Amino acid sequence: MIVNGYHEYWLGSAPQPLADKRWFDTHIASLQEHVSPGKLVIELGTHAVDWISGRPRPVVQPFARIMSALADQQSLPEFVTEAGNTRASYVDGQGLQHRAWMLEAASAHNQILTLQKRGVTAFGLSGLGYEDPGIWAVIDQTTRGLNLHGESLKNVVLSNYVELLGHGPFVAPISMPEVGKRAVETTSAGKISAVFYEELPRASIVQLYGAGAPNQVVLTFDDGPHPQHTPATLDILRDTQTPGSFFVLGNNAAAAPDIVKRILTEGHELGSHTYSHPNMGEVSASRAKVEINSTQLLLNGITRKNIRLYREPYMRSGGPITSKEVASIMPLEKAGYIIAGMDVVPRDWITQTADELADEIIRQVETNAGGVVLLHDGGGIKVRPLLPYRG
Ligand SMILES: [Zn+2]
């Protein structure tokens, strides 16, 4: 039996702890009257709830988001010992008052000890991705029966959350995460009684920009040039007088320099998509540099132009969500590239007719997803491009 170990707050509630210590103890005790400890799974909260002035419904937020906002406003969170939960408040850039309660690593630590004392060994975590990263050290130590090593909670690195500013398919990384520092005090029973933040952590920040007008569509083609598909694509674009953007791979461009030239001659945009399509977040910094610089030199040799448009392989729509993804595009930003993402990702890698593909794109654009459409004109066996044009 899986039971929430925290409250859910809805319309009209007042700011209050998410899992007050006394409530948590009583809640577990009363559950145990009905369910045997071996069958009970408690779902621990690992998130924040934010009561914002003027909004009747509180908002569930990631720990990282609240901490970044507190860092911005130079406002310290307070671990309320009696409640065993953390309280935070700040005024945002629009003048809205935020009153948040959080379940940070310290709360989880104390709750797990309470469960263990009561013989409940099974617990789950709610809202993964919303958690204080220190929770993993807590779980590792408590489940092995170790006393908490305070140092393990000291550094707070918000690597699984990115603060996205603005809207649009273009991505400009602004900063990497800043490491927070905190100290904890424990009682003789091993529970955390106090948490002090010496430095507040801050998530990486990315500016999104370049949103087009509604119903305006930009067609982009990745992974080419391909000896057959790209000329066929260019023919259709020419005949329909449609401009496109081509994000080419260095190794394909080297094999088809004339097609690269044709892309520019016929008035399309040309961008780099690396030399060999690696996952740039997974390769070494020196390999990443070679991927970018060799493609730049090659395209420069073919076109006599400096290509400043770039799209990262395996980029997701909506902007990066981990600091690793931000780290991999940061050198490109510093080198002056314009980093293009996408809004609409139709599944052009599965077999469907041009009409089906066009319908899917139009459907997504009409839901205001944005207008930059990712298609593929290269990629060999996996990719079978079917252009979204009728006639
Ligand atoms: Zn690609």
Long-range contacts, 328-336 (Cβ 8 Å, 24+): 328/280, 328/281, 328/288, 329/171, 329/173, 329/280, 330/173, 330/176, 331/285, 331/288, 331/289, 331/292, 332/292, 333/172, 333/173, 335/292, 336/308
Q: Is the same domain home to 200 and 218?
A: no
Q: Please give the share of the chain, as a percent, with pLDDT higher than 70.
A: 97
For residue 389, being part of any structural domain is answered with no
Q: 161 CA distance to ligand 1 centroid (A)?
A: 24
Q: Is 222 annotated as catalytic?
A: yes
For residue 390, being part of any structural domain is answered with no
**Residue at a domain's end among 208, 240, 264:** 208
Q: Is the same domain home to 204 and 171?
A: yes
Q: Is the same domain home to 180 and 230?
A: no
**Residue at a domain's end among 188, 208, 228:** 208
Indicate whether 267 pLDDT > 80. yes
For residue 391, being part of any structural domain is answered with no
For residue 277, being part of any structural domain is answered with yes
Domain boundaries, position 189: 2-208
Q: Is 12 helix (H, G, I), strand (E, B) or coil?
A: coil
Q: Is the same domain home to 22 and 150?
A: yes
For residue 202, being part of any structural domain is answered with yes
DSSP output for 231-272: HHHHHHHHHTT--EEEEE-HHHHHH-HHHHHHHHHTT-EEEE
Q: 313 CA distance to ligand 1 centroid (A)?
A: 5
Q: Is the same domain home to 65 and 107?
A: yes
For residue 95, being part of any structural domain is answered with yes
pLDDT in the model for residue 9: 83
Q: 277 CA distance to ligand 1 centroid (A)?
A: 6
Indicate whether 388 pLDDT > 60. no
Q: Is the same domain home to 261 and 377?
A: yes
| Residues 70, 77: Cα–Cα separation, whole Å | 7
For residue 387, being part of any structural domain is answered with no
Q: Which of 109, 268, 277, 376 is catalytic?
A: 376
Structure tokens at 197: 């933040």
**Residue at a domain's end among 163, 182, 208:** 208
Of the pLDDT bands very low, low, confident and very high (cuts 50, 70, 90), residue 383 is very low
Q: 375 CA distance to ligand 1 centroid (A)?
A: 9
Across all residues in the chain, what is the average pLDDT?
92
Q: Is the same domain home to 21 and 59?
A: yes
Of the pLDDT bands very low, low, confident and very high (cuts 50, 70, 90), residue 391 is very low
Q: Is the same domain home to 317 and 377?
A: yes
Beta-strand ranges (E) seen in the chain are 2-4, 41-44, 48-52, 59-61, 78-80, 85-91, 97-102, 122-125, 155-156, 162-165, 170-175, 180-186, 192-199, 204-209, 218-222, 244-248, 269-272, 309-310, 338-339, 372-376
Side chain identity, residue 62: P
Q: 253 CA distance to ligand 1 centroid (A)?
A: 14
Q: Is the same domain home to 197 and 232?
A: no
Q: Is the same domain home to 165 and 226?
A: no
Residue that the structure tokens 């013989």 belong to:
119
CATH code, 304? 3.20.20.370
pLDDT in the model for residue 379: 62
Q: 270 CA distance to ligand 1 centroid (A)?
A: 14
Q: Is 69 helix (H, G, I), strand (E, B) or coil?
A: helix
For residue 260, being part of any structural domain is answered with yes
| Residues 111, 190: Cα–Cα separation, whole Å | 12
Q: 225 CA distance to ligand 1 centroid (A)?
A: 11
Q: Is 229 annotated as catalytic?
A: no
Query: How many domains are there within the chain?
Result: 2
pLDDT in the model for residue 127: 81
Q: Which of 20, 50, 132, 222 is catalytic?
A: 222
Q: Is the same domain home to 118 and 250?
A: no
pTM for the complete prediction?
0.85
Indicate whether 139 pLDDT > 50. yes
Q: 291 CA distance to ligand 1 centroid (A)?
A: 13
For residue range 303-329, list pLDDT tens digits in order: 999 999 999 999 988 999 999 999 999
Q: 380 CA distance to ligand 1 centroid (A)?
A: 12
Q: Is the same domain home to 223 and 104?
A: no
